[in-house]
Structure formats: C-alpha cells, structure tokens
Amino acid sequence: MTSDTNDSEPETSETACFEAGVKFGALYHQFAGTPVSPDSAASLARAMEESIENQPFCQSVTVEVLTEKLEEEIDHGYTELTGRFMEVEVVVEQDGVEVVAGMAMEDGYPLMEVESVRE
C-alpha cells in the first residue's frame, strides 16, 4: 500500500461501520446453508448471536429466524438457512461511536445496511 499526500486516517465512525460490516459478513457466511427447522430456529439464532458477540467492538447481535417463512419452505423436515429467513441487527461500539446495522431483503437478495451512526 502506498501513501499519497491526500490520504488521511479513517474517521472513528468509518472504522466502526467497517467493524459492523465484518460482523455481518461473518454471521451471514458462517451460517448460510445451515440446516434449520422451526424446532431448531431459536437455538440456531442464539448460537449465531453468541458467536458474533465474541468479536471485538460488538455490543449486541439480535437474530430472529422467521419460523413462519421456514414452514412454507420445508419439504423434508428442514430447509437451509438463507437471508430470507432472518431478521438481524448488529450493534458495534468503537471509541464512543455506536453503529447499528441491519439486514433486509431487497429484490430477493439479503442486503446489509448501516441504519444509524451515533457519536
């Protein structure tokens, strides 16, 4: 990486947003494809929350597996976890900056977005 005279250090809010993205990337890609049923949804959600909350700067993770949508998709007792079956919120706090990020489906694709930045 080369230095340019126009380069500057990232702002704390930018690094906190980056951390939120790291948490979401880990959460989604670690657990997407996991076999899930309405009976196992709550324990899977807890495992996802507890796993990601171990990461630095993570204040909280809330995962809701949408069991009604799961029931619509199940053919053989379970289906694979994807973004369309989850509502997720991640809260990161870094050096006095709090970032709240969420996930929503858009055009059939799970998009993660920063919902708020508070200093």
> What pLDDT, in 10s, does the model give residues 37-79?
999 999 999 999 999 999 999 999 999 999 999 999 887 889 9
Stretch (H or E) spanning 61: strand 58-65
Could you tell me which CATH number the domain at 12-118 has?
Answer: 3.30.1300.20
**Per-residue pLDDT at 105:** 87
Predicted TM-score (pTM) above 0.75:
yes
In angstroms, the Cα distances linking 39 to 65, 66, 79, 114 are 11, 12, 12, 31
pLDDT, one tens digit per residue, over 83-105 is 999 999 999 999 999 999 999 88
Contact by Cβ (8 Å): 83, 62: no
**Per-residue pLDDT at 114:** 96
Residue 38 phi, psi dihedral angles, 5° rounding = -55, -35
- Domain ranges in the chain are 12-118
